Amino acid sequence: MTVRILALVGSLRAGSHNRQLAEAAVRVAPEGSEVELFEGLAEIPFYNEDIDVEGAVPAAAQKLREAAQAADAFLLFAPEYNGTIPAVLKNAIDWLSRPYGSGAFGGKPVAVLGTAYGQFGGVWAQDETRKAVGIAGGKVLEDVKLSIPGSVVRFAETHPSDDAEVAADLTEVVARLHGHVGETAAA
């Protein structure tokens, strides 16, 4: 069985190092795991209960929900914006938390990682992301973390997938996430 992992990136910038990190995760996913990089977070309107109406959910939000429902697990890439979670990633979590009690995260394993310019690699944003996705119903893997500091320098001329240490760390994260899917299914 192939474990389907949906990757959501909290940066919309084309050259984002977090997007590159997600692209690297797609490339290094171990056998039996498939990482899908979700495209389209920019098109999803801000969550508003008035537009979250059965049969009339905005198409972009419905596309996200369908991709999330089909996933076995999630990889969330959280850059740090002003010390916290980027709005686009929080908005995706909000859409996936609904309908209340039966959101798409539904107890599925979630790993949060990322890279940032600062010396801590975006840990504040990643911690806030873990908090939000846990409240939204995801099974946050507190022991599966990867925060890469100094992204502007480290990835100035090297794509994360070409950085041996990062590629090895990403492979380990995806493998551990895959393992948690098996544990969740067996429970």
Query: Which domains can be identified in the chain, with CATH numbers?
Result: 3-186 (3.40.50.360)
Phi (first) and psi of residue 149, to 5 degrees = -80, 165
pLDDT interval class at 101 (50, 70, 90): confident
Note the pLDDT tens digit of each residue in 16-67. 989 999 999 999 998 999 999 999 999 999 999 999 999 999 999 999 999 9
Residue 62's pLDDT is what?
Answer: 96
Residue 120's pLDDT is what?
Answer: 67
Are the C-beta atoms of residues 2 and 70 closer than 8 Å to each other? no
pTM value is: 0.93
Are the C-beta atoms of residues 78 and 86 closer than 8 Å to each other? yes
Among 114, 87, 110, 85, residue whose Cα is nearest residue 17: 114
CA dist 115 → 10, 55, 63, 124 (Å): 11, 38, 27, 11
pLDDT at 179 over 60: yes
